[in-house]
Structures are given as structure tokens and as C-alpha cells.
Amino acid sequence: DERHPFYGEHQAGISTPPQDHLVFTAFDVTATTPVELQLVLAKWSAAMAELTNGRPVGKVQPARANGVPGDTGEAADMGPHGLTLTLGFGPSLFDGRFGLEKFKPAGFDQLPAMAGESLDPAMTGGDLCIQACANDPQVAYHAVRNLARMARTSVRTRWTVLGFGRASAGANQITPRNLLGFKDGTRNIKTEEDFAEHVWVGDEAGQGWMAGGSYLVARKIHMMIETWDEDPINDQQGIFGRTKQAGAPLSGTREHDVPDFHAAAPGGGPVIPADSHIALAAHENNGGTKILRRGYNFTDGLDAVGRLDAGLMFLSFQRDPEQFVALQRKLGSSDRLNEYIRHVGSGVYAVPGGLPAAGNYYGKEFF
């Protein structure tokens, strides 16, 4: 059974090749004292090590008849299924309630308001977040459920998204498709050099606890699926700048052909439209900016008027949230895709570096 080491330089769930399922949950801390927060972080860190090894967080079957099960049990005997649990801290955690102002990384704040979004406060922000990914959905769900349960007097779930299929690719993975039917993750970050340059935080944050960490941006993006499904193929392909079946750039024939943004169409103008998603987002056209995309397809069933309520739970990791902001500013104002999507949820989280060994816990430096 696939398992990923819990201890290491970086938290698992970032460079880990994306697993099939996601449970993303953001929490508000309701505790009022630093020591209560400290206890949550210590308990969670120890429990995460157990869960990612496929072990329960307490007794499923207590010995005494009046004993309440310590673990809720729905993943008993299932194994780890590649589970990773990645913890992040929202900017609001450093607002002064716990005396953590001096641990706030320089420039780490809520994302600025941007075009193309209509954010629901109920799906935005959070003091803490957990990204649970696994190859079995119940294993991921069990992990978050039990972490929330053991901290229920100190944290409250703020928003959560269940992702049912990965919509990004890591090294040596087949590229999956998002709900618009296009291959997603073709030109994602895949090499160690790119991780070092674009994803992992070094000492620039001025905070030792962020070394080896990263910044997670979460965007719940609703898709107008019914409208998209009536759009002709040439328009769909022009929107992305890629073919649908093969996922090839319009300037090439195979998925991994390098897009040529200068190739000219017979009638004039570039073969890959300048306002297509890939032309706007590509590092060649953004001063070298790259981000790691690690998103998932989600559905919440139907909306109030019976349309499909579904889309992309966009998750990206970067060394500086500004990488995302710069790209999204551009996409939000010019991307032809905007006619078919709307950003409805959002969060940015500082993801600390990995724990070196048992006995440590996330945020230990704060107390």
C-alpha cells in the first residue's frame, strides 16, 4: 500500500505526485489562549504521523463497554492509500489573538481583491487549513474528520471542499482532465530545480519556521458548465490555446510539444491566441514566473436553480503568494476563459517546512 513519509525537510502533499482525491478544510481557531492553540498543533502533528501511516488516532474498539471510541473507525484496516496531510496557517492567525505578530512572514497578508472573483465570505479565509489527499476518498475524509474532532473545543470548521478527481499532474504522471474536458497539468512544475526556484521558501521570509515551506493559494472556482457544453470546439480550443483530445498546443501536434507563442496563423495573428489561457499564464510571457498547480475537480451537486454546481478546486504552491497574484491579475482581466468560470472561494496559507522527527510539532517555534 502506497505511503509517504511524514517526517522530512518539506511537508508531504506538495511535491508528492497528486493523489486521486482531496478533502480541503479551513478552520477558525475559537480558542482564546496561546496554550490552547499550542495543544491543537501538538496533537494534530502527532495524529497526522499516525494517520499517514494508516493507523487510527485512538481505539476503534474501546475495551470498556462505556468507552467512547477514540477513532471514528470508518478507515479501520484500510491502510494509508497514499494519504498526505498538509497544514497551513492563514494570515489571521498572526493578528494578535495569540501573540504571534512577530512570527508573521514579511508581506504575508490576505490576497488583494481581484477581477473575475465574486467571493463568498463563507468559503474564504481561515486561521488554519488542512489539505488531505489520498487515493481513497474515505481515508482522506476520515483523517480530516478525526483531526477536527480531537480539536473541537478549540477550532471550528470554516469551509471545506471535497475533490473527487485530480486535475493536475506531477512528474511521470498521466495528465488528467478538468471538468471542461481539457488535460490539466501538462506544463506543471515537475523538476527538482523548478521546485527549488519557484516552490520552496528559503530564508527570505525572515522566519526560520518557513524554511522548506511554501505558500498555498486555494481558489474554489465555479464553472458555468451548461454554457461551456454548448460552445463549439474551435472556440473551446482557442480559449485554452490547446486541442481538446490530445491536449497539444495549437502550434503543435502532441501534448508535450513546447507551445510556440510566436507562430503565425495563415490569416495573420498568432496560432495560439494572445488572450488564451496558456498564452496569458505561460512563464515565457510572465518574466519566468511559475507556480505548482495541484488542483482537484469538485462538485456540490446542483445550485438553487438546478444547474450543475461544480468546478475546479484550484490549489497552487509557490515560494511567494505574489507569484499567484501576478498571474491571476492578468488572467482575471484578460483570460477568454473568464466567460465560463467564477472564483467563489479563496484562501492563502503559510505552509511551514516539514518536521524533522517525532517529538516536534508545527508551530513549536511560536510558543
Q: Please report, as ranges, the residues that interact with ligand HEM according to CB under 6 A.
A: 178, 180, 182-188, 219, 221, 223, 240, 242, 259, 277-278, 281-283, 291, 311-312, 314, 324, 327-328, 331, 341
Q: How far is CA 231 from the centre of its chain?
A: 29
Instruction: Identify which of 210, 207, 216, 84 has the alpha carbon closest to the alpha carbon of residue 140.
Output: 84
> Residue 27 CB, nearest distance to ligand HEM (Å)?
24
SS3 109: coil
Q: What is the DSSP letter of 167?
A: -
Q: Which residues are within 8 A (CB) of 23 and not within 5 positions of it... i.e. 6 or more apart?
A: 130, 132, 137, 140, 141, 143, 144, 160, 161, 162, 163
Nearer to ligand HEM, 97 or 283 (CB): 283
Per DSSP, the chain holds a count of helices (H) and strands (E) of 7, 9
> Residue 12 CB, nearest distance to ligand HEM (Å)?
22
Nearer to ligand HEM, 151 or 218 (CB): 218
Nearer to ligand HEM, 89 or 324 (CB): 324
> Residue 172 CB, nearest distance to ligand HEM (Å)?
15
Instruction: Identify which of 282, 314, 248, 266 has the alpha carbon closest to the alpha carbon of residue 274.
Output: 282
> Residue 253 CB, nearest distance to ligand HEM (Å)?
15
Angstrom CA distances, 277 to 37, 80, 219, 292, 339, stand at 41, 36, 17, 16, 12
Whole-number Å distance between alpha carbons of 200 and 2 = 24
Nearer to ligand HEM, 10 or 187 (CB): 187
Nearer to ligand HEM, 157 or 286 (CB): 286
Whole-number Å distance between alpha carbons of 74 and 281 = 41
Nearer to ligand HEM, 209 or 324 (CB): 324
> Residue 219 CB, nearest distance to ligand HEM (Å)?
6
Q: How far is CA 136 from the centre of its chain?
A: 17
> Residue 337 CB, nearest distance to ligand HEM (Å)?
6
